[in-house]
Amino acid sequence: MTLTEWESKALLRGVPRPREALTHSLDEAVAFASSLGVPVVAKASGVPHKTEQDAVRVDADVAAVWDELAALGDGTVLVAEQVRGELELIAGGLHDPQFGPIVSIGLGGVAAEVFQDVAFLLAPPVPGELDRAIARLRCARVFDGYRGRQPVDRQALQRILDAIAALLVSDPQVVEVDVNPILVRGGCPLVVDALVVKTP
Amino acid sequence: MNAIFEPRSVAVYGASRDERKLGHTLLRNVLAGGFDGRVIAVNPAGGEILGVRATSTLEEGVDLALISVPAARAGAAVADAAQAGCRAAILLASGFGETGSQGKAVEAGLAEIARAANMRLVGPNCMGVVSRHGDGWLNGSYFWRLPDAPRGTAPGSTPPGEAADAKSISMLSQSGAFGGMFFAEARRRRLRVARFLSVGNSVDVTETDALDWLASDPATGVIALFAEAFRDGLHFVAAAERCRKPVVVLKAGKGRAGARAAASHTGSLAGSHGAVQAAFARAGVIEATTSDEFFDIVHSLGASGPVPSRDVAVLTISGGPGVLASDAAEQLGLRLPPPGEATVSRIRRLAPQFAAVGNPIDLTPQCPAAGFPAAIRAVFDDPVYQGVIVINCGLDVPEFGQGVVAARRRTGKLVTAFVLDAPRIEAELAEAGIPLLSSPERAVAAYAAAAGGLYRL
């Protein structure tokens, strides 16, 4: 059973997220979008593989797309501030039959599956383990800032992994967690999308 | 567990007069290895086999029962050993859990019999145990050829003529056949072996139980493990974390074939090895990725134990291969600081003017033979370095080898070497227990593993 993005994010307690809301009507969506005062992204809810289904609209005119997206999904639409980041990361977690819950951190983006640059940690991670996991990545240097960019806030990353770990440890029905992408903006990682898979 | 590695009495079930039978091999191995405790054969026909008295059932318990009978008769043998009061049994027979669910049920029943009698059970489907015993071996295995027992390496004694800090290696294997590879490499590389246990299907004794025992075994300095799957993964991690000795692991089964059907990116990225990687990182074990690398790392750790510094000298008379070594060193996270001023001036007095006294330190083939020992000693004496990687292609000058061996003995520093077509030097270094690797890069990788390049990263 796959939870919606909104339900999944609700289970990841305390992770840094963009300003966003699940809207139940066009009016509510328009009001929320204008309160943000920045370009927004609108996403249909309860649709797996949203990008492939054309269920994500960037720079969205919420009034124009709300009905279409609501019909595509479960009748609600997620409206969020549109985030541009200097770096895309992927995190996740699962229950391994031999070693129990594990979490992961690595390079995200469209080429994530090509590079497969991801490190794994037993959950919950112990102090120091995240730094050592990042050091194992081929892309380790991007976490330290490069070309004048801010280093990635490791404490915020730690909070994301801790939240995934806490979910896996507390709920054995949670089979897999994807936090993808995490966009890093000015060094701050923001959870832009998340997916939790549970056993029925 | 003491009864498995240090038994004082052994029974061989299935001992046979028929030389083609594995039970004959097993009894012959026990006798030929040098085991000097009580040995008894168990065979329905009774009589005497290879000079050992045979009985149809065990009349009185022994420390260790070695059971080599067909699967169908294994239950009776395990029950007999348990009934007699044996402390441990190793079931070498195959045809159990590895054949399917029926076999799994049968072997679980055998474990139950053993547990009820407070008898530890190794196997089934394994090759047995090999363990240092006095100046020889307890060879409770099917292995056809063991390394020569190193002189005077009984637990607690310091062998003459060898570095006092050399660490004996103990190997645990889930695969019996890999044990054959281990003993072949141990012979070829002259490794000092302390213990070997083939755990097979691990119906009772697991690699974790054995790791715990080896962690406090005074005869063991380095622990090597070949694993395909972990029966109790988190217990293994905890045991490895507790263990103060280096643990080197070769994990087979990393391919996509064994990977789960993934519902997420994370699942497909993890494949079958993500969790293992996480577990090894927590456990602080050194993971080798190939069997070559596994034996190289075991070899260098066995020579000196872990080294607490990444600062190393590449000492060579061969320009190009020396540079290959320094390239590899940098790639693996080692550092190549230049030698101190005192070292430079000592070398300058001994080597030709065109010798490169940076790092690599290239003494050149034109270095007078008599100058080698002092120049080499100068490098080893330099406090900048915790160890030295030696590269020599084709200059078979005995003074070079003698210099390395003397300086290493004097300082106790870690040395790995690549020596090509210089048989006198190779013999000298091998005799001193210095690991000879088959390429400059492998000499560096073996060094780096012991120096933390791969260790606890």
- pLDDT tens digits, residue range A33-79? 999 999 999 999 999 888 888 899 999 999 999 999 999 999 999 99
Between residues A176 and B254, the one the model is more confident about: A176
Q: What would be the CATH architecture of the domain defined by B2-122?
A: 3-Layer(aba) Sandwich (3.40)
Do B275 and A119 count as a contact with CB atoms less than 8 A apart? no
Fold equal for B128-304 and B312-450: yes
Instruction: Give all strands of the β-sheet with B222-227 in edge-to-edge order.
Output: B136-141, B128-133, B193-198, B169-173, B222-227, B247-251, B286-288
**B269, B282, B289, best to mutate vs chain A, most A CBs in 10 Å:** B269
CB-closest option in B229, B230, B275 to A102: B275
**Contacts by A9-15, CB closer than 8 A, 24 or more apart:** A9/A191, A9/A194, A11/A167, A11/A174, A11/A196, A12/A160, A12/A163, A12/A164, A12/A167, A12/A177, A12/A179, A12/A191, A12/A194, A13/A163, A13/A166, A14/A159, A14/A163, A15/A159, A15/A160, A15/A163, A15/A179, A15/A191
CB-closest option in B269, B278, B281 to A116: B269
Chain A residue with the nearest C-alpha to that of B229: A98
Its CATH class, for the domain covering B312-450, is: alpha beta
pLDDT of residue B163: 40
Do B274 and A122 count as a contact with CB atoms less than 8 A apart? no
Share of chain B above pLDDT 90, in %: 79
Q: What is the pLDDT of residues A75-97, one digit of tens each?
A: 999 999 999 999 999 999 999 98
Q: If you count residue pairs, one on A and one on B, with CB atoms under 8 Å apart, how many are there?
A: 93
Share of chain A above pLDDT 70, in %: 100
Do A92 and B269 count as a contact with CB atoms less than 8 A apart? yes
CB-closest option in A94, A122, A180 to B282: A122
Angle (nearest 5°) at CA B96 between B93 and B100? 155
Chain A residue with the nearest C-alpha to that of B274: A120
Contacts of A52 in chain B (CB under 8 A): none
Do B274 and A126 count as a contact with CB atoms less than 8 A apart? no
If phi > 0 it is left, if psi is from -120 to 50 it is alpha, else beta; for residue B367 that is: beta
Nearest chain B CA: its distance from A170 CA (Å): 18
Do A197 and B229 count as a contact with CB atoms less than 8 A apart? no
**Number of other CB atoms surrounding residue A138 within 10 Å:** 12
Share of chain A above pLDDT 90, in %: 86
Residue A182 φ/ψ, nearest 5 degrees: -100, 120
Do B233 and A106 count as a contact with CB atoms less than 8 A apart? no
The type of residue at B213 is: W
**A12, A117, A122, A134, best to mutate vs chain B, most B CBs in 10 Å:** A122
**B174, B202, B264, best to mutate vs chain A, most A CBs in 10 Å:** B264
Nearest chain B CA: its distance from A151 CA (Å): 21
Report how far residue B229's alpha carbon sits from residue A33's, in angstroms, rounded to the nearest whole number: 52
pLDDT, averaged per 10 consecutive residues of chain B (457 residues), comes to 96 94 94 93 92 94 96 95 97 92 93 97 96 91 81 44 61 94 94 94 95 95 93 93 93 66 69 88 92 94 84 95 95 93 95 93 95 97 96 96 96 95 96 94 92 52
Chain B residue with the nearest C-alpha to that of A125: B282
Q: pTM of the prediction?
A: 0.90
Nearest chain B CA: its distance from A120 CA (Å): 5
Contacts of B266 in chain A (CB under 8 A): 90-94, 104, 176-178, 180
pLDDT of residue B134: 86
Q: Kindly list the distances between the CA atom of residue B32 and the CA atoms of A186, B37, B49, B181, in Å, as whole numbers in the listed order.
A: 71, 13, 14, 21
Nearest chain A CA: its distance from B450 CA (Å): 18
pLDDT of residue B261: 55
Domains of chain A, start order: 19-81 (3.30.1490.20), 87-198 (3.30.470.20)
CB-closest option in A2, A135, A176 to B457: A135
Contacts of A90 in chain B (CB under 8 A): 265-266, 269
pLDDT of residue B444: 96
Contacts of A99 in chain B (CB under 8 A): 230, 233-234, 237, 275-276, 278-279
pLDDT of residue A53: 86
Contacts of B457 in chain A (CB under 8 A): 132, 135-136
Chain A residue with the nearest C-alpha to that of B268: A113
pLDDT of residue B333: 87
Q: What would be the CATH architecture of the domain defined by B128-304?
A: 3-Layer(aba) Sandwich (3.40)
Nearest chain A CA: its distance from B234 CA (Å): 6
pLDDT of residue A111: 78
With the C-alpha atoms ordered B295, B296, B298, B303, is the resulting torsion angle positive or negative?
positive
Q: So where are chain B's domains?
A: 2-122, 128-304, 312-450
Would you list which residues of chain A are within 8 Å, Cβ to Cβ, of chain B?
A: 2, 90-94, 96, 98-100, 102, 104, 106, 112-113, 116, 118-122, 126, 129, 132-133, 135-136, 175-178, 180, 195, 197
pLDDT of residue B273: 85
pLDDT of residue A146: 81
